[in-house]
Amino acid sequence: MKILVTGFDPFAGEKINPAIEAVKRLPDKIADAEVVKLEIPTIFNKCAQIVKKAIEQENPDYVLNVGQAGGRACLTPERIAININDGSIPDNAGYQPLGEAIHEDGAAAYFTQLPIKAEVKAIRDAGIPAMVSDTAGTYVCNHIFYQVQYLREKEFPTLKAGFIHIPFLPEQVVRRPTMPSMSLDNIVKGLTAAIGAIVERDGQGDIVAIEGHTH
């Protein structure tokens, strides 16, 4: 089994992005699955082109995109991607879409194929806070989540894919003292646990009950 895990480069003037830093530190094998790591740009459309090329080259069973969600205090596996690009800030190429469809012929939304409740349970069992999220936003994180789902529908029907948001790192909130953060070690630990749950529940669906509210 093979899982492609992507992380974004820094954006919005930040010098670091915990997404790619955590992805780079993941084990090369988790629960007998090969982990392929890929850095992608925080740029609408271009990130999807790079991921599509990696899917064609690697033929993964799963794609897991990882992104930073400043303001969240825990790891949040995402349930749904929506068909809209709406940037509160420009991307790294200076592009700022305002309420545009990602694909005119795409569904209004796609649900993940990943066992998000099992992911949350595994992350919590590893001692890291987590909860299911029902909104991936409208920026490049939601964009790549949606784009991979669109690719799955149109070209890669056996692929299973999803997204996890992660918090800021402590060094990113030095001047944001009320903003939550999480250590890189804990983010890596949580992502490793989530990937383990994805692999272990392969083909079994997501029937795990978890306590707590969704984000």
Active site residues: 78, 141, 165
148 Cβ partners below 8 Å, 6+ apart?
48, 51, 55, 63, 65, 159, 161
